[in-house]
Every structure is written in structure tokens, then in C-alpha cells.
Copies of this chain bind each other. A is one copy, B any other.
Amino acid sequence: MSYDPSAFPPFAVTVDLVVLTVRRHALCALAVRRGEAPFQGRWALPGGFVRPDEDLSQAAARELAEETGLQAHDPSVPVQDNGAHLEQLATYGDPKRDPRMRVVSVAHLALAPDLPAPRAGGDASNARWAPVEELLQQGGYGREGEPVAPLAFDHAQILADGVERARSKIEYSSLATAFCPPEFTVGELRRVYEAVWGVALDPRNFHRKVTGTPGFLVPTGGTTTRQGGRPAQLFRAGGATLLNPPMLRPEV
């Protein structure tokens, strides 16, 4: 308390977004290419400055809408329309994390169903869904053998934290349904878990677990065969938010 509050040091405050989705059986994150220094040309997480009259969650929702067109959900409402789940992740404030000035970034985590190709400022080449595995391998090579530069700033750490949050949160909550379209099958939900955790799950035990948990899934009455094979029942996300007992993640 020996510090003079009237001479408080000024900070810039930003929000950065970890937007996750599942595409082609892989957990993917939204990345944008930086158009200016520092880290010009490198991939980064979407984000921007918090405006003077904005709450942090408002700023995150605004950035999410700007980058993806998604509306953020009220977290107290079960996921059901095409909105995304949005929650605060953590705050990153290392004095040297931005070489230009002191920037504190409040990272948020968004979970979205599979979306059409992203657009950043209308330019598709400057935004993409990339498998998180690819974004996180620092200085390696992508699946086509091209060199991969690490994410700008401390965004690799932020992304890793967001992925870990998502991985653990689908264990004990119904959040995995945020990755699904409004109506989905048990198999589609299972493939979400498999993609996020990177494991294979037993379809029979998974089916027993999710259909046996009250409030997790609500049958819509319809069926679909879009996955091939025998038609599957369609479900919507039920009202339950917490899974008890949780879905168990298999050993590593």
C-alpha cells in the first residue's frame, strides 16, 4: 500500500479469443494472419482492444461476431441455436508480452459448431481454421510439409490453456454439445469427444452413458442417416449443465 494510486501506470487492455471447433475429426482453432508489426505475417489468435465503455465479455462477444459472425450465448442458457459458448479463460500480463507497450490481454474461450470458412476483414486468406496440434507445434512442419512458424506473442500458451480448459470441461459439463449443430446424434457427439480428447471411445458404453444421464440429451423424434449405416436418433442438448458423475477421460 506504499504505492501512489493517483500515479497509476497506464495499461492497454485487449481480449484475445480461442475459438475452437471440430472439423473433419480434428479439434481446430481460429487463427488470423497479422497484417502489421510486430509478428507481421505470422498467425495469431483473433482479438482486439477493449473499448472505453465496454465490459470484457462484451468486447469478447464483439470480436467473436466480427471474426465469425457468431452470436455469443448467454452462458446460463443451454446451447441450442447456432450461437457459440463463450467464457473467460485467463488473463495474460507479462510486461514483455507485447514489445510495443504494456498490454494485458483477457483471453476468452469460445466453442462453436463446424462453420463455413472464416473471413477476416473479408479476406479469407487471412483467417483459417487450423488443427490445434498444428498450431501448437512450435517451429515444426505442417501436414503438407510446409514450415510452420509459432503463433505470435504468447498466443501458443493461450491456445494451449484454452484447449486444456475445453478438454477438462467436457468431462463434467454438457459443453461438448456446443460443438454440435442444434440437432445431432449420439455418434456425432461421440466424435466430438474423440476429437477433443484425441482418443477412441467405445460406442456402446458412450451411448449408455450419455442417454442414461438425465437432462443431457432430449430426443427430438427425428432420425438421420447422414453418417451412413443404420439411422440414428436425433437429439437436442437438454437443460443439464453439469454431468454427475462426469464423463471419464481414458488414461493417456
Contacts and interface: CB of A to CB of B under 8 A. Distances in A.
Interface stretch (A6-14, A23-31, A179-187, A203-211): A6-14
Interface residues of A, number: 31
The copy count of this chain in the complex is 2
Interface string A87-123: 0101111110000001010100000000000001100
Contacts of A121: 1
A153 interface: no
A229 interface: no
The 4 closest A-B pairs by CB, nearest first: A10-B10, A56-B93, A9-B52, A8-B12
Contacts of A52: 9, 95, 102
A1 B51 CA distance: 12
Interface of A: 1, 3, 5, 8-13, 48-56, 66, 88, 90-95, 102, 104, 106, 120-121
Contact of A56 (B10, B55, B91): B91
B12 A48 contact: no
A61 to B, nearest CB: 13
Contacts of A90: 88
A51 B13 contact: no
A55 B106 contact: no
Nearest to A13: B11
